[in-house]
Amino acid sequence: MGTLCIQLRSGTMMNMDSNVAVKLAKAAMDKGHKVTMFGYGEAVTLIKDGQDPKRFPNVGKEISKMTAEGLEVVVCETCCVARGIHRGEEIRGTKIGSLTNDFSRMAAEADRLVTIAR
Amino acid sequence: MPSKLFILLKSPHEYRDLDAVAALGGDDRVGVLLFEDATLFPALKDRRDELIDVADEIYVMGDDLDARGLRSKVGKEFQVIDYPRAVDLIMDEFDQTITL
Amino acid sequence: MAESMLVLITRPPYGLEEAFAGARLALGGKVSGVMDETSVLLIGDGTLNALEAQNPAAVAMPSNLEALQDILDLDGQVFCVEPDLRERVGDMKVLDGIKMISWDEAREIVNAHQLVTTF
């Protein structure tokens, strides 16, 4: 089994990109692959606790469930600060981290990298 | 020469640069995987033909296709797939993925 | 495990955050040192990021040119597909250190990297 790193750059309510990322991650985990996900730019909304879309899939809830099953989710701190998202506001099991340390490590550990962005 | 799986997410009206797929793919094995609005490619004759010209294999996500009511527009050049199959393409069957 | 990553920049400077974000990601890769090689390839409208005449102060934005210079300063490689740039702006000067290449060379560079991420 391999390691898949997904780099997501769209916000959770911008389009369906985050839904695609979550579905791809889930399918890969179901097959026994290790999956890591890095949220960059608008995709930092991925880890914001308290997401409650009324008519759309709740990406936050999916992320919460999947981190408990082994998905590693990290988002860019600089991008969070730019958008007023601070430590303590993230979904339990996710991390506000660093492009240099976390994404570089995730990419280095990956067998495949998929970019989900517009 | 590594095989390449190009991932397209944008509608054919928004994404008009299939030349880049051809240029980056060259003579290597080129797969194209269509997600979201890119599943409109099979429905638009000119763009469909352009895509067929640059790709050796074309995969379309079935859920995105069904959501848009376009399954009947898919010809034999397109393979309709699900997420587990997409994972196999990405992890095992192609060497690189390039999102355009 | 991956030892090399190519950051493919397809978007022009300043209208979108993408090109700057891609350059910063490549810089992060170089700084971290966890991969042997992190390079940048400019194609399509992304080639406009190489132009020396950029003046981002005019729109109060951070400089994409400086972001690319930072990568070059760390001995990173920045490649630009010359026909794409010339088709767009003709014979304008690019930042020193950026390597102008053909599409055949671009394909070889893509093939030489294990991972590709696009901006």
Q: What are the residue boundaries of the structural domains of chain C, listed by start?
A: 4-118
In the predicted structure, residue A39 carries a pLDDT above the cut 90: yes
For B98, the closest of C8, C44, C103 (CB atoms) is C8
pLDDT of residue C109: 97
What's the average model confidence in pLDDT over C78-100? 98
pLDDT of residue B50: 96
pLDDT of residue A77: 97
Task: Tell me which chain C residues have a C-beta less than 8 angstroms from the C-beta of A82.
Answer: none
What's the average model confidence in pLDDT over C72-82? 97
* Minimum CA–CA partner of C25 in chain A: A99
Are A51 and A12 within 8 A, CB to CB? yes
B73 band by pLDDT with thresholds 50, 70 and 90: very high
Per-residue CA distances from A110 to B5, B31, B73, B93, B100 (Å): 16, 21, 36, 16, 20
> Residue A72: which domain range?
3-48+58-116
In the predicted structure, residue C58 carries a pLDDT above the cut 90: yes
Phi, psi of A65 (to 5 degrees): -65, -45
What's the average model confidence in pLDDT over C17-33? 95
First to last CA, chain B: 20
What's the average model confidence in pLDDT over C20-34? 95
Instruction: Note the pLDDT tens digit of each residue in A47-84.
Output: 999 999 999 999 999 999 999 999 999 999 999 999 99
Quick one: angle between helices B18-25 and B45-54, nearest 10? 10
User: What are the structural domain ranges in chain B?
Assistant: 4-99
The verdict on a CB contact (< 8 Å) between B10 and A118 is yes
Q: Is C24 helix (H, G, I), strand (E, B) or coil?
A: helix
What's the average model confidence in pLDDT over B14-32? 94
CATH number assigned to the domain covering B4-99: 3.40.1260.10
pLDDT of residue B1: 76
Query: What is the distance between the alpha carbons of residues B45 and C80, in angstroms, rounded to a whole number?
Result: 33
Are C45 and C12 within 8 A, CB to CB? yes
**Domain CATH code at residue A19:** 3.40.1260.10
Neighbours of A29 (CB within 10 A): 17
* Minimum CA–CA partner of A18 in chain B: B36
CATH number assigned to the domain covering C4-118: 3.40.1260.10
Q: How many domains does chain A have?
A: 1
Question: A53 in a domain, yes or no?
Answer: no
* Sign of the dihedral defined by the CA atoms of residues C31, C48, C95, B20, in that order: positive
Which residues in A have their CB inside 8 Å of a CB on B? 2, 4, 15-17, 20, 23-24, 26-28, 30-31, 33, 111-118
Using alpha carbons, select from B21, B3, A116 the residue that is nearest to residue C43.
B21
User: Tokens representing C73?
Assistant: 């300063």
For A108, the closest of C2, C21, C118 (CB atoms) is C2
In the predicted structure, residue C93 carries a pLDDT above the cut 90: yes
For C115, the closest of A99, A107, A117 (CB atoms) is A107
